[in-house]
Amino acid sequence: MFLRKFIGDKQFYKKVLMITLPILVQQVITNFVSLVDNIMVGQIGTEQMSGVAIVNQLLYVFNVCIFGGVSGAGIFTAQYFGKGDHEGVRSTFRAKIIIVSLMAVFCIGLFLFFDDELISLFLHKGEDNLDLEATLLYGKEYMRIMLLQIPLFAITSAYAGTLRETGRTVPPMIGGLVAVAVNVALDYMLIFGVSFLHIPAMGIRGAAIATVVSRLCEFGVVVFWTHTHKGKNKFIVKAYRSLRIPSQLMAGIIRKGFPLMLNEVLWSVGQAVLVQRYSVRGLEAVSALNISSTVSNLFFCAFFAFGSAISIIVGQLLGAGELERAKDEDRKIIAFTVFVCIVVGVVMAVLSPLFPQIYKTTDTVKEIATACLLISSFMMPFHGFIHTSYFTLRSGGKTVVTFLFDSVYVWFVQILAAYLLSMFTGLNVVMMYAIIQGFDILKCVVGFVLVKKGVWINNLVSDESETAKA
């Protein structure tokens, strides 16, 4: 039966949702809080919102790079866990700690010494003649405080990634819930002030302090739970007694993980470059895209969580040697994701005109943001398919293929198109955005071919796990 290839039974969806829902809940709440935070900052003024948006775009590059660093070793974590090899999981966890620590030190130094240059890349005059110098100062003020949360985010990501890859998705979710609750409460108090508590209004500094404290709370919850439940988390037992990683495994992580990490670095930098290209049309474009991306990310959780489900479910099946079952369940998860994205995309399209009206900004910014949201809602099913295709290829260790599929595409298709459109045409930012997003349809075709051919069906730990222990 044709439909049975794409639709699973009740037990299948129960398993998928048990893994997906905790991740989805955490992501929805986290992105909802980011939206609330964004709206609060947006009430202060467009220059303040733009300064914060630029810094958050730069920090997003760091966050995605950390994700890439963790994910490279995470491919092996899921497969080792599927095989029941706890020593292998422990070694991959150590590799993650080392990788994210080095990346955090590097990024703090970069943002500390080159903040002026990085923020200024996004500052261009537009129709509303906004104050660029004030935007730069607001951005620098916000960034200096936000640097404090970088090491907290990095270490938390190493722990949370390992927990998810070993099937423990609830503790990271709880950590995320605690963080967002703290963030919302502190955001309001610190941004606007509370007179009866004698808390002054600190504006964007308050928003940054709230984020740092919330990251600290998330770090505390995730790390504390992991170390107090050693029976459930065997990888943490004696994890810090030594940072030794078997050479065979480290070679595998570098071989498979470096292209993935490089991919995430280039992809995230590419997203920042795209925003910079849009910013040529004026600071209004930066503010509008900040609103659009913040709102879109709330709806994009619909497919973000399913990518994690593929990493966990398909990765563990590949590690256990159940290759045909991995292929079957992967196909059904992708189909389910696209269906969910169609439904969520319709809801997003209906609500798109409402969100920008909440912000205290110019009519130009609101109009651009609304148009970009409508474009994103139309593209949601395509993005869902691309996202799950990427995680399918990654689960089998095809990191060079994912590098070509993701980063090479961004730089040689999207960024090239953005450069040509911004420099040699008079198209407004909405038309530029529509054209560049439309290229993702071609990426869907490539993803379909790669997934269908089964190039990703590989067991990475069947042969090397024994030598890795030596």
DSSP 311-347: HHHHHHHHHTT-HHHHHHHHHHHHHHHHHHHHHHHHH
Cβ-contact 212, 195 below 8 angstroms: no
Whole-number pLDDT of residue 466: 42
* Rounded Cα distance, 407 and 242, in Å: 35
The per-residue pLDDT for 221 is 96
pTM for the model: 0.74
Query: If the chain, 470 residues long, is cut into consecutive pieces of 10 residues, what is the mean pLDDT of each piece?
Result: 74 86 78 78 84 87 84 81 84 91 94 90 73 89 94 94 87 88 90 87 92 94 94 89 83 77 83 89 88 89 84 82 85 92 95 90 91 96 93 78 84 94 93 94 91 77 46
**Which value, to the nearest 10 degrees, does the dihedral of the CA atoms of residues 376, 381, 385, 387 take?**
30
Q: What is the pLDDT of residue 464?
A: 46
Cα separation, 61 vs 273, whole angstroms: 10
Q: In this structure, are residues 204 and 51 in contact, taking their beta carbons and an 8 Å threshold?
A: yes
Three-state SS at 200: coil
Q: What is the DSSP letter of 396?
A: T
Q: What is the C-alpha separation between 64 and 268, in angstroms, rounded?
A: 6
Of 2, 1, 5, residue with least CA distance to 336: 5
Beta carbons within 8 Å of 19's beta carbon, 6+ residues apart: 167, 169, 308, 309, 312, 313
Q: What's the CA gap between 304 and 322, in Å, rounded?
A: 25
Q: Is 247 exposed, middle or buried (0-12, 13-18, 19+ CB in 10 A)?
A: exposed
User: What was the pLDDT predicted at 460?
Assistant: 63
